[in-house]
Structure 1
Amino acid sequence: MAHISLKRQVKQVEIKSDGDVFHELFRSKPHHISNISPTNYLDLHEGDWGTVGSVIFWKYTHDGKEKVAKERIEAIDEEKKLVTFKVIEGDLMELYKTCIFTVHVDTHGENNLVTWTVEYEKLNEDVEDLTSMLDFCVALTKDIETHHLNN
């Protein structure tokens, strides 16, 4: 059996809304995403919002299908405005051995850049890359930005 290696994909989105507010949302208020993007529902399963080791339950729509995921917050870096989530249960685990998402916000005055990185290992070579999940993250970023700019 061929060894399947860890893969990495990155997508960036420029946002005009406040990068600090965006980071704060993913760091300690991800449950507010349910109000901003109604096709996504988040709930806290373990721990406290905004703490490493906490487990967040997601119910989301991806490629027209309702899906679920449980993610554990693996890292929070205030200085770099970075949050890392590891998927530990749910639909993605049926296709991937490992799946880790990192959201990083670069703030430079008016120009803020949100970088989504996903590192993953497929269960087999026939499994698709996670490009469409990164597209989902970009779309979610744009929903959040639209919400913040309109409120």
Structure 2
Amino acid sequence: MGVTGKLEVDVEIKSQGDLFHELFGQKPHHVANITPDKVHTCDVHEGDFGKPGSIICWDYTIDGKKCVAKELVEEIDEEKQYVKFKVIEGDILEEFKSLSISIHVVPRGETTIVKWIIEFEKFTDDGPYPTKFMDFAIGITKEIEAHHLNE
């Protein structure tokens, strides 16, 4: 059994957290319109956008490599502004035995915290940590914030 772990990062943004949560919880296909250099498409393969149990597929570029990830929408909590995806197919599973991504939006007065959580299991103890995916998530967050502030 490989090493399991969790990476967390809090990204402070000035744009409204409601918009950010709605984007990933209900309209993830709009992420490609806002961050076209990172996320190219997001399509629903089974179910509906915004519904737990649905399967969505992302086409994205990370570290100059075009990749695909098929994800199960495990949870969407509107009250807590929380979304969780589990990767079930794709390039990311060549590097990790399992990987889940959670996004939790927490209002903090004038600003909002976007908490990204990556839970993972490595194939081997000395395998890589998913830091490039966390850097990718931070970059997307900053681009979405800039987009919303410029509207």
Decide: shared fold, TM above 0.5. yes
What SS does the corresponding residue of 1:24 show, helix, strand or coil? helix
Say what the alpha-carbon RMSD is for the aligned residues.
1.0
1:2-151 → structure 2 map (5 Å cutoff): 3-39=1-37, 40=39, 41-151=41-151
Runs ≥4 residues deviating over 2 A: none
Report the alpha carbon displacement of residue 78 of structure 1 after superposing the two structures with TM.
Answer: 1.4
Report the alpha carbon displacement of residue 10 of structure 1 after superposing the two structures with TM.
Answer: 0.5
What SS does the corresponding residue of 1:22 show, helix, strand or coil? helix
User: Identity of aligned pairs, percent?
Assistant: 50
* TM-score, normalising length: structure 1: 0.95
Report the alpha carbon displacement of residue 80 of structure 1 after superposing the two structures with TM.
Answer: 1.2
Q: 2:45·2:54 contact (CA, 8 Å) conserved in 1?
A: yes
CA distance in 2, matches of 1:95, 1:135: 16
Where structure 1 has 5 or more consecutive residues not aligned to the other structure, the ranges are: none
CA distance in 1, matches of 2:148, 2:43: 21
Where structure 2 has 5 or more consecutive residues not aligned to the other structure, the ranges are: none
Report the alpha carbon displacement of residue 111 of structure 1 after superposing the two structures with TM.
Answer: 1.3
* TM-score, normalising length: structure 2: 0.95
CA distance in 2, matches of 1:43, 1:144: 19
CA distance in 1, matches of 2:33, 2:119: 28
Report the alpha carbon displacement of residue 98 of structure 1 after superposing the two structures with TM.
Answer: 1.0
What SS does the corresponding residue of 1:116 show, helix, strand or coil? strand
Report the alpha carbon displacement of residue 124 of structure 1 after superposing the two structures with TM.
Answer: 1.8
CA distance in 1, matches of 2:7, 2:127: 15
